[in-house]
Amino acid sequence: MVEKKDLDWGSLDFGYHQTDYSYEAHWKDGEWDEGGLTTDHDLHLSECAGIFHYCQEVFEGLKAYTTEEGSIVCFRPDMNASRMFDSAERLEMPGFPKDRFVEAVKEVVKANAAWVPPFGSGATLYVRPFMIGSGEVIGVAPAPEYTFRILVTPVGPYFKGGLKPIKLRVSEYDRAAPHGTGNIKAGLNYAMSLRPTMEAHRNGYAENIYLDPQSRTYIEETGGANVLFVKEDGTLVVPKSHTDSILPSITRRSLVQVAQDLGMTVDERYVTWEEVAGDEFVECGLCGTAAVISPVGQIDNKVNGADQEVVFPAGCTEIGPVMKQLRETLTGIQDGNLEDKHGWVCKIDVD
The set of catalytic residues is 185
124 burial type by CB count under 10 A (0-12 exposed, 13-18 middle, 19+ buried): buried
Q: Contact 165/96 with Cβ under 8 angstroms?
A: no
Residues 6 or more apart from 25 whose CB is under 8 A from it?
A: 32, 33, 34, 35, 36, 96, 100, 104, 147, 148, 149
Return the SS3 of 268: strand
Residues 6 or more apart from 28 whose CB is under 8 A from it?
A: 135, 144, 145, 146
**SS3 assignment for 190-213:** HHHHHHHHHHHHHCCCCEEEEECC
Beta strand 308-311 with 292-301 is antiparallel
User: CA 117 to CA 153: how far, in whole Å?
Assistant: 10
Q: Could you tell me the maximum CA-CA distance found in the chain, to the nearest angstrom?
A: 61
- The CA distances from residue 225 to 39, 66, 120, 130, in Å, are 31, 24, 25, 18
User: CA 277 to CA 253: how far, in whole Å?
Assistant: 25
Sign of the alpha-carbon dihedral angle for 109, 114, 118, 122: negative
Q: Contact 135/141 with Cβ under 8 angstroms?
A: no
Q: What secondary structure does DSSP assign to 98-113, as a single string?
A: HHHHHHHHHHHHHHTG
User: CA 320 to CA 270: how far, in whole Å?
Assistant: 23
